[in-house]
Homo-oligomer: A and B are copies of this chain.
């Protein structure tokens, strides 16, 4: 048995026999606090490696150094379910010649399991590990909680490297990723800053317009008849989502309703609902804040799950299939209920599906909440810049000017109407939004360079993203 614990990243790269053209995978549990991708890419660059494919579970602003790797030819291909910040800008500017592949979280897991996305070296940033690669995310100064995304990568990668800043005596306990899957271990000073896990607002919205949207969204859930014993729920960490969760918690408490599970990226808000027995279980693929990290380490009803268990459409059944309700955001929604969270109204990449399309497809009721206008742009449009989530999987759009129900869901329309909710045709909402807008949606020229393809869960192509020609602001 050769020694697994190596002195530094360079030794690991040499031991993995890294060479031009390989695919390296990374995960994003430290989100905008991650340093693992950056430190690996720095060593890779120093070694003169070229033409790599970076298969990340998400790219954040902190990964700005990747732009330089692209410029130098170290990286020539990229795939990820979510890309934000300078790397997204560089892609939108056409800096990569090969189209970026933007999957869903479930679709990425599916592609890896099927062998459509073969990984040469998977890098696991681990807040705690032993010298054989047993590791977890709940102990150590960089604790980020669940390790849901790399669990899939390590099962299929040719080589697996654990990078830790907290090397403990064998055996690390608990072990979320276990030694028989790990080739090499390396200790570094820091894998990143867990304060960067929380990105953007994690407070419930307080402005009246957002509160009204949240209230209407919760009323849609009530009207649907799904809010009953055994209720299951997922939402994000945005202001409207958190306000909705608060209202929902109050209702469940008042009516003595105990939900079965909440899933997805987990916030302290959902931890409170677990502790208040409003949900039996949390199924967590990724902790969204440090309260969730703490809860995951302590509460056995707060359970981790892999990206495959969470959302893979190619598995034998994933958690999203059992969701009653998901509440999702949108950059744009169009007349066919297609939702765009990949590009902004200006056509530039600003994020990506993550689990957006996965949960919309799985949930019995997929609610999209959005204001009609933002930054001068209409958010209800004739046609979205980019289809991230197909309209056929979106049931309701809740706005500050009323609620549009997907015409496929006649049943739901009448339920909401009986409940006295302000239902409006999506075309009416489009007109109001357009009238209130001061800027025009930027649609790419048909001849503009293709910079990304958006994959649906099953790997089929949903849409393409083209370069934006204007200088960036």
Contact = CB atoms under 8 A, between A and B. Distances in A.
Q: Is the interface of A mostly helix, strand, loop or mixed?
A: loop
Closest 8 CB pairs of A and B: A180-B315, A173-B281, A180-B309, A178-B309, A180-B308, A179-B317, A183-B316, A173-B303
B322 A170 contact: yes
Interface in A423-440: none
Interface string A256-289: 0000110000000000000000001101000000
Range, interface on chain A: 35 or more
A4 interface: yes
A317 B4 contact: yes
Interface in A298-320: 300-301, 303, 305-306, 308-309, 312, 315-319
A1 interface: yes
Interface of A: 1, 4, 132-133, 160, 169-171, 173-175, 178-183, 230, 260-261, 280-281, 283, 300-301, 303, 305-306, 308-309, 312, 315-319, 321-322
A317 B171 contact: no
| Copies of this chain | 2
A173 B262 CA distance: 13
Nearest to A181: B316
Nearest to A2: B317
Given A171-B261, A281-B173, A179 B316 contact: yes
A309 B179 contact: yes
21 contacts: A4-B316, A4-B317, A133-B317, A169-B280, A171-B260, A171-B261, A171-B283, A171-B303, A171-B319, A173-B281, A173-B301, A173-B303, A174-B300, A178-B306, A179-B315, A179-B319, A180-B306, A180-B316, A181-B315, A182-B317, A183-B316
A139 to B, nearest CB: 11
Contacts of A174: 300, 303
Given A133-B317, A178-B306, A182-B316, 4 more contacts: A170-B261, A179-B316, A179-B319, A180-B309
A137 to B, nearest CB: 14
A171 B282 CA distance: 9
